[in-house]
Amino acid sequence: MLTRWLLTHQFKEAIRSSVFQKNLIINIMVGLFAFYLIVNLLVAGFLIDRIMEQVFPETDPVTAFNGLLLYYFGLDLFSRFFLQKIPVLSIQPYLHLPVKRTSIIHFLLLKSVFKLFNILPLFIFVPFSYKVMGGTVEAATWLAGILCIILANNYLITYVKRHLSDHPLTAGVFAILFALFLSLDMSDIFGLSEVSSYLFGMLIDHPATVLVSFAILVTLYQLNFVILKMNLQLDIMQAEMRSKSTLLNFALLSRFGQIGELIMLEMKLILRHKRPKSVALFSVLFLFYGLIFYQSPNLQDSTFILIFVGIVVTGAFMISYGQFSYSWESSFFDGILSNRISLENYIKAKIWIYIITVSICYIVTLPYAFMGTEIALINTCAFLFNAGINSFMILLITSFKPKRLELNKGSAFNFQGVGIAQYILSIPIFLLPICLYVPFAIAGMSQAGIIFIGLVGFMGLIMQDVLVKLLVSRIKGKKYALAAGFRQG
């Protein structure tokens, strides 16, 4: 009875939401895409044994598939960290009612079982187990063990995000560990695939080991239950909100006048609000883009691809966060206009944020230089181009009809604030450096073309004041139109 009552409230909350009604067409399109994805996953599930036979002809399909599962669950954890939401605020309206709090907590935890991250993998695992292993006890225990681990991932990441999301380094630890194991495996130093094959093979050879997976699931469920019970009081939540408001003052930035203060405010905006924080954390993924391309001998020979990757890995944050450059302030853009804030300083602050983050991304990705001197040269020139040209291009393109967005909504499957500028942004960012390189490539001077990209970026840094004035004149001419657009949503 209580479960049905709570589910009814959740359903009404969803369909009565103004966001749901405004984005009805988008929701329908997402539903159609989900149906298309499910059909594709089902087909893949029935054909995956043939795929395994072609990719690993000397290995049994089940053994080969088991060898990939640890990689999958590692990626699953990393993806959940950025995309999976934690339902916390939905509990608050019930705390003053005569409802057992333990029942609310159990409902909250059980409701999270029906997330896409937990359901979609079953459309591959169930057909695969039925086709390859048939209706045997081994197939049932293998599938049950996989399901337990999927749900264990769900509760593990819920716990991690609840307590550690305020520390961005947590995401980096996940990424570094996964990249380390992946690199060791690819270098034949440590066989992660063999470990994976052995562990999941135990579910088939020794069905009783499914109890280990179940024990892990129950432990993580109970851990989340205890934590939720301890933090369910509203006064505790309010205390946490007050503690979050006392962020660092970034005293160093305040020495640089109004530009430093604006940079400090932007950093606080990122740290205090859900969507910019999740976008910033998600950009960490792009830092490891090179592991996909630099390990492939075929792709290493394509300078065009390497330039593209160089732009991505050194501009990871700038590209992800910068696509909503003006929309981040949509809720208080009128306040920016009414205060004594110089538009020139406002633009310079954003450019310096992008230059600083591009520099950090470049330093973090310096180890890619060990994969080849050409990669080191390309990444250095891409860094200069991102800092000198793309930082300006992003602010120019996103000034075309930016849309309002809510800062405290998650970024996963959220199309709020997305307009035509976000769709065309990638064209000049990636195409311009390649166009600069093409004439040199045709003339057989590949290295000179790469250096020329870096020189153009360096010239952009030198001429920053000129570019800023051009951008300020554009923003000044349409600042009231921007403010009116943000008010309308």
- Please, what's the b/e burial string for 262-289 (b: 16 or more CB within 10 A of its CB; e: otherwise)? bbbebbeebeebebbbbbbbbbbbbbbb
Mean pLDDT, the chain, rounded, equals: 80
pLDDT for the residue numbered 65:
92
Residue 399, phi then psi, degrees to nearest 5: -80, -5
Rounded Cα distance, 347 and 435, in Å: 27
Measured CA distances, 19 to 13, 86, 120 (Å): 11, 19, 25
Is residue 240's pLDDT more than 50? no
Mean pLDDT over 335-364 rounds to 87
Side chain identity, residue 411: S
453, 379 in Cβ contact below 8 A?
no
Residues 68-83: pLDDT tens digits? 898 889 888 877 876 7
- pLDDT number for residue 382: 94
Sign for the pseudo-dihedral over CA of 182, 188, 189, 192: positive
Task: Give the pLDDT mean for 139-145.
Answer: 93
SS3 259: helix
Most confident of 1-5, 132-136, 200-204, 424-428: 200-204
Cα separation, 433 vs 450, in Å, equals 9
Instruction: Say if residues 214 and 203 touch (Cβ distance below 8 Å).
Output: no
Lowest-pLDDT choice from 85-99, 145-159, 271-285, 424-438: 85-99
| Domain boundaries along the sequence of the chain | 22-244, 255-488
pLDDT in tens, 224-237: 888 887 776 544 44
Task: Report helix, strand or coil for 223.
Answer: helix
Whether pLDDT at 426 is above 70: yes
Percent of the chain with pLDDT over 90: 23
Q: Residues 234, 92: contact at Cβ < 8 Å?
A: yes
pLDDT class of 457 with cuts at 50, 70, 90? very high
When pLDDT is cut at 50, 70 and 90, the band that residue 268 belongs to is confident
> What residue has token string 């590949």?
446
Q: Burial of 434 by CB count in 10 Å (0-12 exposed, 13-18 middle, 19+ buried)? A: middle
- Contact between 304 and 434 under an 8 Å Cβ cutoff? The reply is yes
| Short-list 115, 116, 146, CA closest to 128 | 146
Q: For 53-100, give the DSSP string.
A: HHHSTTS-HHHHHHHHHHHHHHHHHHHHHHH-----GGGGGGTTSSS-
Measured distance CA(442)–CA(456) in Å, rounded:
19
Look at the block and give the residue holding tokens 């264990």: 152
